[in-house]
């Protein structure tokens, strides 16, 4: 059994204009700290990377500060449509869901798809049916909608003049457990005022996340269309596989590639197979935190 473990989480890139909008960073940092402490407990006692990323992603979904689960952004019709995915780096198995309503924790449904379904990605009503068949509880659609999101929707959907830095936000977690197994999870409400039925990168394996014990675990956040067209999470894993880069160089080259190829904006968190952690973004902020190789907890917004 490997001696060390690592954990990283993020709460989205680009959304927070801390200075001009007088946003208090403290609640974000405190939330990251608490969630990392929970993840730490799982990984310290020898729990799996999959359990750790599912738990951390679920806690981020439950927290209305972040654009996933409760507090997710609203689409053009003022409704919530959620996407999530989880991937096991040991088996390369994955589960994903898209266009989800009425499931409080889409990442848990994605895990159910990973474990119980012969498919990788389920959408909309079919996914909801699958959830009910497996005993998942449903919530009312009002559960997800917070005052902050309603206000944002009312302000933006009439003009539809949405700045790039107002669109983003999502959550994700990557981990390496004591056995050296890697896992990644990502969950989102997508882009503010997105078209109905729009699915971004988050539930797309290789774009919004990737995990392979032979290389790394990656979770991305940002303008999803750009991450889909560059298959960015897998691109980063390939940089590690074929160019023998470490997490930091691969994350840096990945974000450079995103910018150069499609002028994309966003961020990534990466843990490589040695447990080295890296966060990289080309937006103003990315809410993120990490524990590298069983060390201290770090939380940052910039």
- Interface segment toward ligand ASP; rule CB under 6 A; list 138-146, 151-159, 217-225, 253-261: 217-225
Angle at which helices 247-262 and 232-243 pack, to 10 degrees? 130
Beta bridge partners of 83: 188
Torsion sign across C-alpha atoms 121, 290, 14, 258:
negative
d(CA 272, CA 280): 14
Can residue 275 be called a binding residue for ligand ASP (CB under 6 A)? no
Nearer to ligand ASP, 258 or 291 (CB): 258
Nearer to ligand ASP, 267 or 275 (CB): 267
Nearer to ligand ASP, 10 or 273 (CB): 10
We find the least distance from the C-beta atom of residue 181 to ligand ASP, in angstroms, to be 25
Which residue's Cβ lies closest to ligand ASP? 224
The helix/strand/coil state of 109 is helix
Which of 170, 142, 183 lies closest to 84, judged by CA?
Answer: 170
Can residue 213 be called a binding residue for ligand ASP (CB under 6 A)? no
* 114 and 88 Cβ atoms separated by less than 8 Å: yes
Judge whether 283 counts as a catalytic residue: no
* 67 and 189 Cβ atoms separated by less than 8 Å: yes
Helix and strand numbers (H, E) in the chain are: 9, 12
We find the least distance from the C-beta atom of residue 105 to ligand ASP, in angstroms, to be 17
Nearer to ligand ASP, 168 or 273 (CB): 168
Nearer to ligand ASP, 95 or 275 (CB): 95
In the window 147-206, what residues touch ligand ASP (CB under 6 A)? 168-170, 188, 190-191, 200-202
Which of 296, 34, 61 lies closest to 170, judged by CA?
Answer: 61
We find the least distance from the C-beta atom of residue 167 to ligand ASP, in angstroms, to be 7
In the window 122-141, what residues touch ligand ASP (CB under 6 A)? none
Can residue 221 be called a binding residue for ligand ASP (CB under 6 A)? yes
d(CA 278, CA 290): 9
Q: Which of 4, 138, 146, 170 is catalytic?
A: 170
Can residue 264 be called a binding residue for ligand ASP (CB under 6 A)? no
* 86 and 50 Cβ atoms separated by less than 8 Å: yes
We find the least distance from the C-beta atom of residue 106 to ligand ASP, in angstroms, to be 12
Can residue 99 be called a binding residue for ligand ASP (CB under 6 A)? no
d(CA 143, CA 78): 14
Can residue 71 be called a binding residue for ligand ASP (CB under 6 A)? no
- Residue 169: which H helix or E strand, with range? none
d(CA 150, CA 137): 25
Binding site for ligand ASP (CB under 6 A): 12, 168-170, 188, 190-191, 200-202, 221-224
Enumerate the active-site residues. Answer: 170
């Amino acid at each position: 059994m490997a001696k060390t473990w690592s954990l990283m989480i993020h709460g989205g890139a680009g959304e927070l204009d801390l200075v001009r909008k007088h946003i208090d960073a403290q609640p974000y940092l405190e939330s990251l700290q608490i969630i990392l402490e929970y993840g730490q407990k799982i990984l310290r006692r020898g729990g799996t990377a999959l359990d750790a990323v599912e738990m951390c992603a679920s806690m981020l979904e439950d927290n209305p500060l972040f654009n996933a689960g409760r507090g997710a952004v609203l689409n053009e019709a003022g409704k919530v449509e959620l996407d999530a995915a989880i991937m096991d780096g040991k088996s390369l198995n994955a589960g994903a869901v898209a266009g989800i309503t009425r499931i409080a924790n889409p990442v848990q449904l994605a895990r159910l798809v990973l474990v119980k379904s012969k498919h990788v990605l389920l959408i909309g009503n079919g996914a909801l049916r699958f959830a009910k068949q497996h005993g998942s509880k449903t919530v009312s659609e009002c559960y997800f909608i917070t005052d902050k999101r309603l206000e944002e929707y009312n302000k933006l959907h009439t003009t539809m003049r949405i700045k790039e830095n107002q669109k983003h936000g999502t959550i994700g977690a990557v981990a390496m457990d004591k056995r050296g197994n890697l896992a990644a999870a990502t969950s989102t409400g997508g882009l503010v005022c997105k078209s109905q039925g729009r699915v971004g990168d988050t539930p797309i394996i290789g774009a919004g996340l990737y995990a392979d014990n032979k290389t790394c675990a990656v979770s991305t956040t940002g303008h999803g269309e750009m991450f889909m067209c560059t298959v960015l999470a897998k691109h980063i894993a390939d940089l590690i596989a074929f160019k023998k880069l470490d997490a930091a160089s691969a994350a840096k080259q990945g974000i450079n590639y995103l910018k150069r190829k499609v002028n994309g904006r966003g961020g990534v968190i990466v843990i490589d197979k040695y447990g080295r952690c890296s966060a990289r973004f080309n937006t103003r902020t990315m809410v993120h935190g990490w524990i590298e190789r069983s060390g201290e907890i770090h939380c940052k917004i910039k």
